[in-house]
Structure 1
Amino acid sequence: MRTALVIGTGLIGTSAALALAGRGITVHLRDHDPARARTAAALGAGTDEAPAGPVDLVIVAVPPAHVAGTLAAAIRDGLGRGYLDVASVKGGPKRELQDLDLDLTAYIGTHPMSGKERSGPLAATADLFEGRPWVLTPTRDTDTEVLNLALELVALCRAVPVVMDADAHDRAVALVSHTPQLVSSMVAARLESADETAVRLCGQGIRDVTRIAASDPRMWVEILSANPGPVADVLAGVAADLDETVRALRSLESEDDAKRRAGASGVEDVLRRGNAGRARVPGKHGAAPTAYETVAVLISDSPGELARIFADAGRAGVNIEDVRIEHATGQQAGLVQLMVEPTAVPVLETALKERGWALRKG
């Protein structure tokens, strides 16, 4: 691949363009809003000038509802040797394209499993896809050269290729992406009219659950409108669990010992099933999840403090596997939770204490 055309310069399109441009590919940028394409070009993602002729790969990065129309126009205009889209839904656009009676041998549907709560070119980064799954949905008609171009794109973006059927992909993202977005938004919506005293008690748990609720509603309406059936199926299962859990909690209020025991059993059941499901989420580098221990450190909200604590951990020979920061309400301080291998805990605690850090239990 030497040249590419990215149509749609939002978060995903601009991030892909930045990754390609950074690896020597000549990238052309196009958007229905020329100002967005100019912004992406100013960030170093390529040029907003039209290519002189067909490019090696056309990357369509528009909302699912516009994928088929945009791809059809690009194919009819002969803009490239190969074409792919990066929409988060695959089955619908594929069927729409098939209904248009086009030669689709030069097309492959793809979906990089990466994103942010923020959208638009200014949120884009060249490393957005590094280490993340990038789904490819080839069909029997997909040309081998186009599949190779898609694999090259994935490699240049340092992502991990995963081959799936389009409809299987849509059922999978309904479970692992689309439903979590709705559930997060539903929980966050409880805070809208909550008493200010309750809101001030928000800790890391509510922050974790509601983080993705900050996403753009208009973007998610477009995504969910393209995959409503599979998402509704998953939500129906969640709703059944909610109904059972509500009944179990009501039973815990009963004066009848048998009902209280049944209620406790019902609550425990959903929590245990949650444990079992969470244990299946892949861990670091896609390996089986590892149970890390947490070392909690009080840290001031000052420039360089995080860098200093990471440097001190490095000097102690300890690798930080993950990190969380819990901010203290109304104070210029917070609690940094360093996740490490269990055997590294004594080494890290000793090293941090020697360097003057204040450790906290729990």
Structure 2
Amino acid sequence: MRTVVVIGTGLVGTSAALALAGRGIQVHLVDHDPQSARTAAALGAGTDEAPEARVDLAIIAVPPAHVASVLATALRDGIARGYLDVASVKGGPRRELEALGLDLTPYIGTHPMAGKERSGPLAATADLFEGRPWVLTPTRDTDTEVLNLALELVALCRAVPVVMDADAHDRAVALVSHTPQLISSMVAARLEEADETAVRLCGQGIRDVTRIAASDPRMWVEILSANPGPVADVLAGVAADLDETVRALRGLQSDDDARRREGTEGIEDVLRRGNAGRVRVPGKHGTAPTAYEMVSVLISDRPGELAGIFADAGRAGVNVEDVRIEHATGQQAGLVQLMVEPSAAPALSAALRERGWSIRQ
């Protein structure tokens, strides 16, 4: 692969362009908003000038509702040897393209499982896809050369290829991406009219749950409109769990011993099933999740504090596997929670104390 055209210079399109340009690929940027393409070009993602000849690969990075029309135009114009899209829904666009009667042998649907709450070219980074799954949905008609181009793209972006059926992909993302977005937004919506006293009590738990609620509503309306059935199916299951949980909580309010026992069992059941589901979420590098030990360090809000902690952990010979920061409301301080291998936690705690850090149990 030597030349690529990216049609759509939002977060995903520009991130892919940055990754490719950084590895020596000639990237041409196209967007319905010329200013967006110019912004991406200014970031080093390529050039907003049109290619002079047919390119090796065309990456269609537009919302799901526009994939079929944009891709159909590109196919008819013959701008590339191979074509792929990176939309978050795969079955619907494929069926739209088939209905147009186009030759789809030079096309493959793909979806990189990476994103942010922010959108647009300014949110893009060349490392957005590193280590993340990138789904490929070839059919029996997909040309081998196009599949190879898609695999090369995934490798250049340092992602991990995953081959799936398009409809199976849509059911999967309904569970692991689209429904969590809606539930996060629903929880955050409870805060809109909440008393200010309650809002001031927000801690790390509510911050974790509502982080993705900051996403662009217009973007998500387009995504959910392209995958409504599978998302509704998952939400129906969540709604059933909610009904059972509400009944269990009402049972805990009862004066009847049997109802209280049923309530306790109901709450325990949903929490245990939550534990079992959480264990299945892949851990670091896509491996089985590891039970890390947490070392909590009190820090002040001053430049260099985080760098100092990581430097001292390195001097102690301890690898920090993950990190979280819990901010103290209304104070210039917080807790840095360092996740490390259980066997390394005592040594790290001792080393940090020796270097003057305040460790919290």
Partners of 1:7 and 1:222 lie apart in 2 by: 18
Counterpart-to-counterpart distance in 2, 1:101 and 1:5: 24
Map 1:186-205 onto structure 2 (within 5 A). Answer: 186-205=186-205
Q: Which residue of 2 aligns with 1:155?
A: 155
Instruction: Look up the match of 2:230.
Output: 230
* Matched ranges for 1:170-209 at <5 A: 170-209=170-209
Cα distance in 2 for partners of 1:286, 1:34 equals 38
Q: Distance in 2 between matches of 1:319 and 1:203?
A: 27
Letter in 2 for 1:353: R
Counterpart-to-counterpart distance in 1, 2:29 and 2:135:
23
Distance 1:317 1:3 in 2: 44
Counterpart CA distance in 1 for 2:227 and 2:303 is: 44
Aligned match of 2:17: 17
- Per the alignment, residue 60 of structure 1 pairs with 60
Q: What is the alpha-carbon distance in structure 1 between the residues aligned to residue 93 and residue 278 of structure 2?
A: 32
Once the two structures are TM-superposed, the CA of residue 185 in structure 1 deviates from its matched residue by 0.3
1:293-330 Cα distance to aligned partner (Å, 9 max, x none) = 10000011111111110011011011111100011111
Q: How does 1:312-323 map to 2 (within 5 A)?
A: 312-323=312-323
Equivalent residue letter for 1:207: R
Partner of 1:340: 340
SS at structure 2 position matched to 1:62:
coil
- TM-score w.r.t. length of structure 2: 1.00
Paired with 2:109 and 2:173, the residues of 1 have a C-alpha distance of 15
Displaced runs of 4+ in structure 1, greater than 2 A?
none
Structure 2 letter corresponding to 1:140: R
CA distance in structure 2 between the aligned counterparts of 1:130 and 1:308, rounded to whole angstroms = 26
- Structure 1 CA distance for aligned equivalents of residues 8 and 287 of structure 2: 34
Distance 1:333 1:78 in 2: 58
Taking the aligned partners of 1:312 and 1:250, their CA distance within structure 2 comes to 50
Question: Structure 2 CA distance, aligned partners of 1:235 and 1:315?
Answer: 48
Residue type of the alignment partner of 1:185: S
AA in 2 matched with 1:100 = L
**Is 1:38 the equivalent of 2:38?**
yes
Q: Secondary structure at the match of 1:32?
A: coil
Deviations 1:1-42 (A, max 9, x none): 000000000000000000000000000000000000000000
CA RMSD of aligned residues (A): 0.4
- Indicate yes or no: 2:282 matched with 1:260: no
TM score, norm. by length of structure 1: 0.99
Q: Percent identity?
A: 86
Structure 2 gap segments, 5+ residues each:
none
Find the aligned partners of 1:265 and 1:245 in 2 and give their Cα distance: 10
Gaps of 5+ in 1: none
Alignment correspondent of 2:141 = 141
CA displacement, residues 207-258 of structure 1 (integer Å, 9 cap, x when unaligned): 0000000000000000000000000000000000000000000000000111
CA distance in 1, matches of 2:202, 2:144: 52
What is the Cα deviation at residue 53 of structure 1?
1.1
Residue of structure 2 in register with 1:102 after alignment: 102
For 1:145 and 1:305, the matched residues in 2 are separated by 51
Structure 1 partner of 2:132 = 132
Number of aligned positions between the proteins: 361
